[in-house]
C-alpha cells in the first residue's frame, strides 16, 4: 500500500489539531448560560464571574470563524427555499384582495 503524500498527511494533522482546539473551546464555553442568567434572576455577578464570562466570550469569539464557515453553506442551500416561500406568501396576500405596496 503506497504511503500518502506529505501534503495530505499535513492536512490531516492540521484538521485533527483544529478539531481538538474547537472541542476544547466549546468545553470552555459550557456552563455560560446559567452564569449569564444569574443577574437576570436577581443575583449579582462577582468579580470571579465577570472574569469567567470574559474568558467565555473570548473562547466564543475564537470559535466564531468555524460557525461562520458552517453557516454560509447552509444558508446558501436554504436561499432558494426562502425565496419560494416569500414569493408564495406574497402571492397569497395578493389573492385575498390586499393590494401590494410599491
Taking only the tens place, the pLDDT of each residue in 29-62 is: 888 888 888 888 888 989 999 998 898 888 888 7
Q: For all residues of the chain together, what is the average pLDDT?
A: 78
Rounded to whole angstroms, how far apart are CA atoms 24 and 40?
Answer: 28
- The pLDDT score that the predictor gives to residue 51 is 92
How much is the average pLDDT of 15-35? 82
Rounded to whole angstroms, how far apart are CA atoms 96 and 81?
Answer: 23
Q: Of 90, 84, 85, nearest to 102 (Cα)?
A: 90
pTM across the whole model: 0.50
User: How many other β-carbons are positioned within 10 Å of the β-carbon of residue 2?
Assistant: 4
- Tell me the HSE value of 75 on the side-chain side, using a 13 A CA sphere: 6
Amino acid at each position: 500500500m503506497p504511503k500518502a503524500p506529505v501534503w495530505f498527511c499535513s492536512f490531516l494533522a492540521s484538521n485533527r489539531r483544529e478539531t481538538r482546539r474547537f472541542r476544547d473551546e466549546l468545553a470552555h464555553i459550557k456552563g455560560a448560560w446559567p452564569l449569564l442568567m444569574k443577574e437576570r434572576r436577581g443575583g449579582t455577578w462577582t468579580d470571579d464571574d465577570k472574569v469567567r464570562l470574559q474568558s467565555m466570550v473570548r473562547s466564543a469569539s475564537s470559535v466564531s470563524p468555524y460557525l461562520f464557515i458552517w453557516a454560509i453553506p447552509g444558508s446558501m442551500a436554504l436561499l432558494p427555499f426562502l425565496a419560494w416561500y416569500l414569493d408564495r406568501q406574497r402571492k397569497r396576500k395578493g389573492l385575498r384582495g390586499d393590494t401590494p405596496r410599491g
